[in-house]
Amino acid sequence: MKNLKYLSYILRHKWFVFVECARHGLFWRGLVHDVSKFLPAEWRPYANWFYGVHGVTYEYTGFYWAQINHAAARLDFQRAWLFHQHRNPHHWQYWILHKDSGLSVALKMPRKYVVEMVCDWKGAGRAQGKTAAHECRDWYLANRDVMHLHQDTRLEVETMLGV
């Protein structure tokens, strides 16, 4: 059941992101958006995290059903989220350079990925039932201080969102 629920969400999300990307002429980016979420390394942890029952879920190993506890599901989800960010250049985290000195530098994102990122935010909101135009803008304003963006990327994002 959790896999069907997750599939339903992913397909809704991908559809809404495609629609948003198409408005900007980015048909290919809309089509390939988040295809990595169908890989087992992302699929299982996401389905377990978002649709497992009360923090405990059961996974068929091929021989038996194994219980996965909340802590294990959290670690798997965090690892999957990291993989997802590093596989998909529409995430701002993809563009963070971690230097050996310990400093982090935000690199400028190419425009097509900035547009896809904003389309992703809007598509995620629509897939979760948020349809008002201002909701994506409000979400960004509530979260922008934790986003490590290059100044040119931030300007592009804020221009797109009317901030």
75: its two tokens: 């670690």
Q: Region 127-135: what's the mean pLDDT?
A: 77
Q: Identify the DSSP state of 56.
A: B
Q: Region 125-137: what's the mean pLDDT?
A: 80
What end-to-end distance do the CA atoms of the chain give, in Å?
40
Percentage above 70 pLDDT, the chain: 88
Backbone φ, ψ for residue 98 (5° rounding): -95, 110
pLDDT digits (tens, 9 = 90+) for 44-99: 888 888 887 545 555 565 666 555 667 777 888 899 999 999 999 999 999 999 99
Burial 101-131 (b: 16+ CB within 10 A, else e): eeeeebeebeebbbbbbbbbbbbbbbbeeee
147: three-class secondary structure by DSSP: coil
> What is the reported pLDDT for 52?
75
Q: Region 109-123: what's the mean pLDDT?
A: 95
Ramachandran sector of residue 8 (left: φ over 0; alpha: ψ -120 to 50; beta: rest): alpha
CA 143 from centre of chain: 14
Looking at every residue in the chain, the average pLDDT score rounds to 88
